Structure 1
Amino acid sequence: MVADQDGFPAPERGLVVTQFLTVRVVKVSREFYADIFGGRVVLEENPALVQVANTWIILNPGGGPTPDKPGVTLTAPEAGDPVSAFLNVRVADIAAFYAEARAKGAQFLTEPLDRGAELRCYLRDPDGYLIEIGQVTGLLHGITAEVSPRP
């Protein structure tokens, strides 16, 4: 079912980069990205496609190899899996985003912390994908090194 076909990422030239996430329950993940990040549902299922700001997130259940990806099995992360990639979201006001997302049920690993070059915090989506939320601060003033947290 198409929810908003006008927002489908199909460039007339060049390219568009989207993020594909293997999820356990498409509806739960689709609602998370639409609600927490103010996303616009472009496709509801098979796959779900949510436009979040200037990017698109594709949400689909896992599965085994196909002719175009032989030997590849897609699965959602399991609890405790090492992280090798994550979504990186930049916001204009991290305090406001943090408060609004928590009010909607988002569970953060920590509150926003000042890392010198930026303020940042992390949350996980319903499938356990890590999402960094950051607001650039010191980087705008030439501070590139991260500040070590105080014990």
Structure 2
Amino acid sequence: MATQKDLPAPSEGLILTHFITVRDVAASRRFYADVFGGEVVLEENPAIVKIANGWIIMNPGGGPTPDKPDISLSAPEPGDPVSSFLNVRVADIAAFYTDATAKGARFLTEPLDRRAELRCYLHDPDGHLIEVGQATGILEGILADRTASSEQHHRPVTEPGRDR
């Protein structure tokens, strides 16, 4: 049974959680617990997985409710435009990529060097987009050079623990 310290219920101030609408709660719960090393604190209604210093809350979609009239929730369909995504920051993106891939995560590309950061994307079981990034050049004041060629600044990063 989850304790209050495990749940997103602040005793003062606020905390930030991320709610996602899912088709299969069990599959999504496993994905976030396994790939991101999360702790399942509530199995269903809603499912809640604590990851690092945040929580992912998952529930199936549904129609309007009294507190959100005229709003329906549904998981994304293939080809839907993306208007927001989960952004996860890691200390070692190559190690995270290797571990997550071994656990079944399917990335759009391997991590790419964007000068300011190393970055890659993946989808969860329902198609929600997740960015995984490691701050690198931005820590030194280097921002991505939008005028430089993609070849020069978007190199794959493949060795765990690789320094810039």
Same fold by TM-score greater than 0.5: yes
Matches of 1:33 and 1:21, distance apart in 2: 11
Aligned to 1:150: 151
Matches of 2:131 and 2:144, distance apart in 1: 18
Matches within 5 A, 1:53-72: 53-72=52-71
Q: TM-score, normalised by structure 2?
A: 0.88
Any idea what SS the aligned residue of 1:100 has? helix
Aligned to 2:73: 74
The residue type equivalent to 2:131 in the other structure is E
Any idea what SS the aligned residue of 2:151 has? coil
RMSD of aligned residue pairs (Cα, Å): 1.2
Aligned to 2:160: none
Aligned to 1:109: 108
Q: TM-score, normalised by structure 1?
A: 0.95
Matches of 1:80 and 1:32, distance apart in 2: 21
Matches of 2:101 and 2:125, distance apart in 1: 14
- Show structure 2 runs of 5+ residues with no match: 153-164
Q: Percent identity?
A: 69
Which segments of structure 1 move beyond 4 Å, counting only runs of 4 or more?
Answer: none
Shift of 1:146: 4.3
Aligned to 2:8: 9
Matches of 2:94 and 2:151, distance apart in 1: 21
Relative distance call for 1:139 and 1:75 in structure 2 (3 A) is same
Shift of 1:145: 2.6
